[in-house]
A and B are shown apart, each in its own frame.
Chain A
Amino acid sequence: MKPSLARRHFLKMALAAGALPGAPRSLRAAALPPARLGKAEHCIFIWLGGGMAQVDTFDPKTMGNTKAKPFLAGSYYQAIDTSVPGIKVTEHLARTARLMEHVTVVRTVNHRVVDEHAFATNLVHTGRMISGNVVYPSIGSIVAQQRGAANPEVPAYMLIGLPNVSRGPGFLGAQHGFVYLVDTNSGPAGFTRPEDVGPDRAARRLSLLEPLQNRFPADSIPSDYRAAQTEALRLAGPDFMRHFQLGTEPGSLRQRYGGEFGQRCLLARRLVQSGVRFIEVSHNLNFINGTGWDTHNAGQLQQHVLIKELDTALSALIEDLEKQRLLDKTLVVVATEFGRPAAFDSGGGRGHQGTAFSLVLAGGGLKHSGAYGVTDELSKTALENPVSIPDFHATIHAAMGIDPHTELLDGSRPVPITDGGVPIASLLA
């Protein structure tokens, strides 16, 4: 060190750094009020692919009628009271209704992308319209990149569902992608050994591999790969893989969670405990009603079975997280690509609607009030407190302690973490 000439500058620097402790001086920081940040440590992001009908679930309206001619627009099921006075949901959400003090249904989410599921799915996952210049990261990848895993021994972002680009890391790069499993029986791809490779055989394989790994000098590029390989093979071992052993949970609890979707939620809770930061859980099971949440035409008829399945698993998850003292630090999100209109299609089902629909937040240490935002009498538009997709993303980031004004870097190019989203202030009060 030869600091003589530069000492004056070093002192100045120390002051400057002290004045701005680690805060990035954003382009727009001065214009925006500092966001209040929450304390959630994990996020379980439940995905209802197809477009959940808010009027049949979390934003009930007066009853419609498909027996009448013409069809009468409105909810398909009766509304019931919940544990939060004045807040109602439909009858097939009876179990969740009793837990609404832990829940906020954001009823006024809106966007304009309703023609195609893939497009809207991309929007709700990335918070952005597509662009020919940038592949935007999913919210899971952003949270994983910003916060890393809570336990360095496990992946930061896991997906229980099918891989697609909307769930991917975009410009953040492959290291911020998900580790996925398609269902609770198959185990995570890449970390689950083939059935005919038991621990002994795996050990023998490793001993054959080892001399081949040592052919490159330390601190070479291939030695970096070797380090990644050691990490990957460790993850395939019992320390990580035991988290997938749902059989170790009490039978009564497993029953309480319900079918495969419930088991996925239970696995998500176990992964939270293991230190995974963000877990997306997909509700993509065999279409009990023929169409899943995409309830066009006759898909409407058995929609209540889907709703009940969601109700069972979601309520079990909230109760279980609370019992395990994890609810305050685990944000549960129920998301879908768009909603559906109160009016029926010609086949007695429902089309797509983006002008107003419901996404659900639970736990995560937020100040819940059962519902946020008010829609009109048929839930067609927002009357109070509209929430854009960027706002919703900003709310998740803020809840997770991530400054919603943060800028991500696509190479050297700064990209705001959301497209101007503002968190819902009352949830973070």
Chain B
Amino acid sequence: MICLRNKPVAIRLSVMAPLAAILTAWGGMMPPLELKATPDPMMGAVQAEICEQGLADKDAWPEVSPRATESFQIPAFGLDTLPQKYVDDGVRGTRPSPSLLRLKATVTLPAGNHRFLIRSRSAARLSMDGKVIAETPFPPKNGGDGSQAGSEILTPLDLGKGYRFAPAGEYEKIEDVAIEAGAHAFTFEVFVGGREGNKPRRVELGETVVALSSEGQAGWELLSPSGKGASYSDAGWEAYRSQVESTLAQRNASTRAALREKQAEIWKKRRDVAAQWLASTPETKVPALPEGLTATSPIDHFLAAKLLEIKAQNSHSAPNAVDFFRDVRPLLESRCLDCHRGNKAKGGLQLDTLANALRGGDSGPAIVPGQTETSEVIHRITTNDADEIMPPKGKPLTTEESAILTHWIQEGASWPELPLVREEVTPPVEDLAFLRRVTLDTIGLIPTVDEARSFLADASSDKRARLIDRLLGDDRWADHWISLWLDVLAENPNILNPTLNNTGPFRWWLQEALLDDLPMDRMVTQLLLQRGGDREGGPAGFGQASQNDSPFAAKGTVISAAFLGVDMKCARCHDSPSGSAKQEQLFQLGALLASKPLEVPKTSSVDPVKLHAGGRKPLIEVTLMPGTTVQPEWPFQEFADPSVVASLTAHPGDHRERLAALITAPQNERFAQVIANRIWQRLMGRGIVDPVDNWEKGTPSHPELLRWLGRELVRNGYQVKPLARLILTSQAYQRSVDPTLRQTDPLHTAPEPRRLSAEQVVDSLFAATGKPFRVEPVCLDLNGRRDTGNSLDLGRPHRSWMLASLSNERDRPSLMLPRLQAVADVLSALGWRGSRQDPLSVRDLAPNALQPAILANGSMSGWLTRLSDDNGLTELALKAPTVDDLIDSLYLRLLTRQPSEAEKERTSGYLREGFDTRKVEHPPKPEVPHVAPAFVTWTNHLLPQSNTAKEKLAEAARKGDPPTTKLEPDWRQRCEDVIWALINSPEMLYRP
């Protein structure tokens, strides 16, 4: 008996000899075999078939071999991911669980006593010429939630050095089979998914493999009809699987495209409607360029015109006078505007513009320039009448604060539309800084050294435009821009027992929509229709909100803010006290999303007794009683008239189709403008309307530009990239930073130093050092034994956005994911959220001590700084011809700039000593221990040894990889110190 993974399984040997003896006998005694391709119609490929039908909901092989519902080809008997299932308009769908995977090929083998290895997550059987030669069993039932199953064996089979250990939770089986020379038909059938109780398991493959160790050969290779079976070693498998992965990605993309093609007609019709609408509505004229100025994008015309206008407005105020934007505006913002803004301003008074303040409210003009006695504002902030004092809640204004307002009114209440932060624009940003900026803004990474050098060397005048085009065509655009939508749409999957307002992992749908450049109207339509697999990454997952008392009301607040700039958060429980959103409107919207009437739960209201307890008229109103049933109805007539629906969708009777059409209709100018404003905000630092998710609170700084951008988006078929190109090519985008600015100048005379996002920092650091992004899979159910509702596998991340909440509310060491935690610690400190329970449009980027701390001393920084063998900087340090050259490369790689003379001098002083002797002559080869990785998953996490194993992994993650032996330790450490300083330089965190 040999103990195989999961339970003791006897290896049946055709020749009954001790295993050790067989291994010795195979020690290279015979010449290597040649596996010849067969003259089969499938010519050198393995036919892979997925069977979705014909399987019972139980763990048993069907009597009749099921018919294939889908087939494709792969090079060998090895597969760890199924092609995605797509439904509807090309969104991810759900396969039945269980499904069956069948791999078939004819392979010509020489005569001999060959050894076969099969691996699978669930039951599998390999047959040759119709006879079963190897089998793995069905997994046992967990019972309950599976945490008590607890008897999984931790150590996989070990056949010595070079033998690839089975990955976590795989069954494996080895059989020796005596074979005659010639062609043999092999069929490998594998169960995928299955049932846990009456619930489905995830339809995911483990490492599904048939490997062969032919007589006379020591190693393993994947069984392959082509005769070129990949080596089944760790490296061989990695290479093979990434090749298959990219083939499958292409296949997935064409499947999506084909499904979308089926809907081409309606979308062509919609483009026609948009074109008609554009033609029938007045264009926004691009202003003429003021004399003496140049432009590289129409955007520059709009900005230049506005700058002139504001200059004129600001030219009147006297020196030493109260400055509206410095002194008055912050006061109004913090103390007045919450109530005195928008359609529902209290007392009919809006204090958001001079005109509104002069007009005043129910009590007369709020401000009379030059006359404090008759200015109602001054009376209200200074009275001691509790019924009249403003603000009605919180501390009254201080004497200093009232003095500011008083003086300001005395001086004539100068209220320019926008502050004039700078008189003149800054010069264009220099090449390297531009390269770094635009690369970060498009693909979320800093440029490579090669990119930097070739951009510098390029003397052509259109090199920036060409760079922008290249970056817009880069697939990694999706990796950067997805973060925006994950935040805004509150994507919030929990990998374990979702109960914290969790959604499905619709990140995968978002990623594909971005990869495919899906037009925004179509992407939003897909989201709102909520089709596909909720647990598989389809937009259906958006509709989930675990343990929320009214999920669709919650989703209503998400989409109104995301796509219409309407903040309805307050309306979740009561009418908005400051905005115009009514609770009924939110529930109407929610009912459209739900496709059915919604009842208002008691827990989504405010108890009237509590409400009126204070005496003074309560600030909030409840006009919708709990228990009321609200019908699906479009609550935003002001944005789009319901009559537009008929021409935009084939199913105007469907509530969700109707909602999608009304939000994304070209006639709904608000939608295109909100999207354009969000893109603008991401690239320019501040929305033309700010805040981007609550337009009632903001006045557009450039209303004509906003309207023009919205129309450009419509004109370009709602494609985001042409809009981004307009912005990126503008002079406004390409100005150099004014380091003294503390916030974005709404006139865009210069960008401020802008903190990079958490993802940009982390991804750039990994990319720049070349250290592999090596973390655990985002999964606590590695062997897929739990049901789909209670566990997710979010895969092995290679970019920061792919992380999620690590879901260890149980506080158990055995459920730690230490390497992911180390990365998540950095991301969280910098403003990323693993748990996105609510939507967020703009992150808090204020500095705090945790950020530099985790970058200085956290585990992740340790990995990046340490010159280990797999750190890209190690090779750089080994190959650099001179100290100066090394320093140049390090600066270019990490900071995308040349070091100054002083920096060069200082750094080379630190590294010069010992540079010539830094290489170790005959470095000891690092020992790669052949130790099975610990297998800790949900079903064994309560075992004490699972805790111990995870604690060891945590310790290893903290320590990081050992340093290379190729560099002298003393010099290596000094080089690491230089790298540490560059990584920790504030410059690393700010957009140039």
Which residues from chain A sit less than 8 Å from chain B, CB to CB?
A: 1-3, 5-6, 8-10, 12-17, 19, 22, 24-32, 47, 49-50, 115-119, 121-122, 129-135, 155, 161-166, 168, 173-175, 177, 179, 182, 186, 189-196, 201, 204-205, 208-209, 211-213, 215-217, 219-222, 224-229, 231-233, 235-236, 282, 284-288, 290-292, 294, 296-297, 347, 412-414, 420
Contact = CB atoms under 8 A, between A and B. Distances in A.
A228 B850 CA distance: 8
B841 to A, nearest CB: 12
A211 B846 CA distance: 23
Interface in B717-764: 739-742, 752-753, 755
B610 A28 contact: yes
Contacts of B903: 211-212
Given A119-B499, A222-B986, A287-B944, A6 B402 contact: yes
A209 B984 contact: yes
Nearest to A155: B849
B948 interface: yes
Given A163-B828, A220-B741, A413-B570, 18 more contacts: A9-B378, A22-B395, A28-B613, A31-B613, A32-B613, A47-B811, A115-B499, A117-B497, A132-B548, A134-B837, A163-B824, A164-B811, A204-B977, A209-B984, A212-B987, A215-B985, A229-B852, A232-B856
B848 A132 contact: no
Interface stretch (B11-19, B83-91, B656-664, B802-810): B802-810
Contact of B497 (A49, A116, A177, A235): A116
Contacts of B740: 217, 219-220
Contact of A15 (B384, B407, B569): B384
Contacts of B382: 6, 8-10, 12-13
B872 interface: no
B406 A5 contact: yes
A26 B805 CA distance: 35
Given A6-B406, A29-B614, A228 B981 contact: no
A72 B977 CA distance: 66
Which 4 A-B pairs have CB atoms at the shortest separation, nearest pair first?
A: A9-B382, A132-B554, A31-B613, A118-B809
Nearest to B558: A132
Q: What is the interface residue range for chain B against chain A?
A: 35 or more
A104 to B, nearest CB: 25
19 contacts: A12-B383, A12-B384, A13-B399, A133-B569, A162-B816, A163-B821, A163-B824, A189-B825, A190-B825, A190-B856, A194-B862, A194-B959, A195-B959, A222-B990, A225-B852, A228-B851, A286-B948, A287-B944, A414-B393
Interface in B797-838: 805-813, 816, 821, 824-825, 828-829, 831, 833-835, 837-838
Nearest to A210: B981
Contacts of B338: 412
Given A118-B496, A221-B742, A229-B852, A194 B619 contact: no
Interface in B44-84: none
Contacts of A31: 610, 613-614
Contacts of A190: 825, 829, 850, 853-854, 856-858
Nearest to B984: A209
A194 B806 contact: no
Given A28-B614, A212-B985, A233-B852, A201 B990 contact: no
B887 to A, nearest CB: 12
A221 B857 contact: no
A292 B148 CA distance: 12
Contact of A131 (B806, B837, B987): B837
A224 B500 CA distance: 35
B316 interface: no
A5 B948 contact: no
Contacts of A28: 610, 613-614
A292 B812 contact: yes
Interface in B937-992: 942-944, 947-948, 954, 958-960, 973-974, 977-978, 980-982, 984-987, 989-990
A133 B604 CA distance: 11
A130 B836 CA distance: 12
A221 B755 contact: yes
A6 B373 CA distance: 8
Nearest to B409: A5
B834 A165 contact: yes
A412 B337 CA distance: 10
B982 A212 contact: yes
B377 to A, nearest CB: 11
Question: Which of B603, B752, B810 has the largest count of A CB atoms less than 10 A from its CB?
Answer: B810
Contact of B501 (A131, A213, A229, A420): A131
A208 B806 contact: no
B805 A211 contact: no
B847 interface: yes
B160 interface: no
B306 to A, nearest CB: 25
Contact of B849 (A134, A231, A292): A231
Given A133-B557, A166-B809, A122 B500 contact: yes
A119 B977 contact: no
Contact of A229 (B373, B551, B812, B984): B984
B906 interface: yes
A38 to B, nearest CB: 25
A194 B837 contact: no
Contacts of B545: 132
Question: Which of B378, B384, B613 has the largest count of A CB atoms less than 10 A from its CB?
Answer: B384
B500 A208 contact: no
B518 interface: no
B857 A193 contact: yes
A24 B569 contact: no
A213 B984 CA distance: 9
A279 B148 CA distance: 32
Contact of A1 (B403, B603, B825, B910): B403
B739 A208 contact: no
Contacts of B618: 27
B372 A221 contact: no
Contacts of A161: 811
Interface string B361-398: 00000000000110000110111100001001111110
A132 B831 contact: no
A161 B809 CA distance: 11
Nearest to B960: A194
Contacts of B805: 164-165
Contact of A226 (B392, B835, B944, B986): B986
Nearest to B963: A196
A294 B984 CA distance: 43
A6 B148 contact: no
A27 B831 contact: no
B266 to A, nearest CB: 32
Nearest to A116: B499
Contacts of A216: 739, 753, 986
Given A232-B852, A290-B942, A118 B902 contact: no
A165 B383 contact: no
B490 interface: yes
Contact of A30 (B378, B613, B862, B977): B613
Contacts of B812: 49, 162, 284, 287, 292
Contacts of B854: 189-190
A52 B393 CA distance: 42
B982 A225 contact: no
A217 to B, nearest CB: 6
B844 interface: yes
Contact of A132 (B490, B821, B906): B490
Contacts of A226: 986
Contacts of A212: 903, 981-982, 984-987
B150 interface: yes
A6 B947 contact: no
B989 A225 contact: yes
B629 interface: no
Question: Which of B338, B548, B844, B856 has the largest count of A CB atoms less than 10 A from its CB?
Answer: B856
Nearest to B738: A220
